[in-house]
Amino acid sequence: MKAVVMSGIGQIGVEEVREPTIQAPTDAIVRVTTTAICGTDLHLIRGTFPGMKPGTILGHEAIGIVEEVGSDVRNLAPGDRVVVPSTIGCGACSYCRAGYYSQCDVANPNGPQAGTAFFGGPEATGPFDGLQAEYARIPFAHTGPVKLPEGMSDDDAILLSDVFPTSWFAARLAEVGSGDTVAVFGAGIVGQLAMASALLQGAGRVLAIDNLPTRLELARMQGAEPINFDEEDPIETIRRLTNGIGVDRVIDAVGVDANRPHSGPAAEQSGGGDGDGLRQQVAPETNPSGGNWEPGDAPDQVLDWAVEAVAKAGTIGVVGVYPPTMSAFPVGKAMNKNVTIKAGNCNHRRYLPKLIDIVASGRMSLAPNVTQDETFDTILDAYRAFDRRQPGWIKVAVVVGEGSGMQVSGRATVDATT
Ligand SMILES: [Zn+2]
């Protein structure tokens, strides 16, 4: 089968690999029908989220059809159409039972202290082969995948795999409640859906902070108040718009390296890359230090802004991705404002049934966020375009074709802020 394989920093390619097989009674094999590219994939490829084992299949977003189930998967059957959550939980440990699927004690083979297990991640997260493939082995399939209602479009469904749950979780982490004023840093797709989630969870006002006009316009269209940090000091503006108080809640939907210099690794296409590489544009305004960045040396700009923007006794929710090696945070400033900080990897499975209902009932339409319809054959080009933060590229869905893998068609879905 075909899959997107990472062979080293900056090196990805579409390769022919062996099809996965059932390895445990709780496994299922899913034929992927749509996958997507996520900003997290870019972190992994660049090495800003380090530790990828060469040969790992990338990707942690998919919908597909169950092909085969192990003997202890009793709630799914071949032919079921499912969404696969990005994080993996066993469903039986005390953490999973309490809804903390991303802190499962069992799913990560590196042990209970190893952290979140997810598809297509670094060695420390499993490693588990990812979902940018024609077929995927889904561990603990009695718990993870959720059946999709008939009639839900692929473009709606693919955003339930990671993006919408993460966005919803972001607003939960930030403790958004009735009437709150919420600042969302990062208006990529997670930021956009975090704004929508905040509004669904009762927010009175939402401020959107980014520097890409197309993203800010999307934010405005859904009722948020855009702030372009290239054109104005975002903290000054936030304070002015809130009578000097600041916002009740902040959501960090940016994470590491959106404002960091990095070495600009090249993406290599199998059969010869064109060399333009997965290189991120670094805005000089947000890159005061310059030079090469070592993880952990200083807080990211967005974390500093978050602590500045939040009102006294407010809450910051962090879903932007940071590597375990990142250790700097403006704790003094936060402590002296009585700020609550909550952070984490989404417990996807916890929210999926509710979010499927919200989408199926028409209260939220996710499909318009899928702006690129690519084929699996063009996924590497989609990676490059996404990496360049090309205007108008919100999310790239990759439709994976049926059958031999020689006639793969697709869309790629990409986001630079998670
Ligand atoms: Zn568990």
Q: From ligand 1's centre to the CA of 162, what distance in Å?
A: 18
Q: From ligand 1's centre to the CA of 102, what distance in Å?
A: 8
**pTM, rounded to two decimals:** 0.86
Q: From ligand 1's centre to the CA of 405, what distance in Å?
A: 34
Q: pLDDT tens digit string along 47-81?
A: 888 999 999 999 999 999 999 999 999 999 999 99
**Domain 167-273+286-343: assigned CATH number:** 3.40.50.720
Q: From ligand 1's centre to the CA of 107, what distance in Å?
A: 6
Q: From ligand 1's centre to the CA of 297, what distance in Å?
A: 33
- In the chain, where does the domain assigned CATH 3.40.50.720 lie? 167-273+286-343
- In the chain, where does the domain assigned CATH 3.90.180.10 lie? 2-162+347-399
CA distance 87 to 104: 10
Q: Which CATH architecture has domain 2-162+347-399?
A: Alpha-Beta Complex (3.90)
Provide, rounded to the nearest whole percent, the portion of the chain with pLDDT above 70.
Answer: 85
Distances (CA, A) of 263 to 9, 281, 325, 373: 10, 11, 18, 29
- Token pair belonging to 321: 């991705």
How many C-beta atoms lie closer than 10 Å to residue 240's C-beta?
A: 11
Q: pLDDT tens digit string along 6-22?
A: 999 999 999 999 999 99
Distances (CA, A) of 64 to 138, 146, 325, 378: 11, 11, 34, 20
Pair 171, 195: CB distance under 8 Å: no
- pLDDT above 80 (res 353): yes
Q: From ligand 1's centre to the CA of 315, what distance in Å?
A: 28
Q: pLDDT tens digit string along 112-140?
A: 999 999 999 999 999 999 999 999 999 99
List of residues 6+ apart from 253 with CB closer than 8 A: 167, 170, 184, 185, 186, 187, 188, 190, 191, 194, 319, 320, 417, 418
Q: pLDDT tens digit string along 168-225?
A: 999 999 999 999 999 999 999 999 999 999 999 999 999 999 999 999 999 999 999 9
Mean pLDDT confidence for 86-97:
98
Mean pLDDT confidence for 103-109:
98
Q: What DSSP state is assigned to residue 130?
A: -
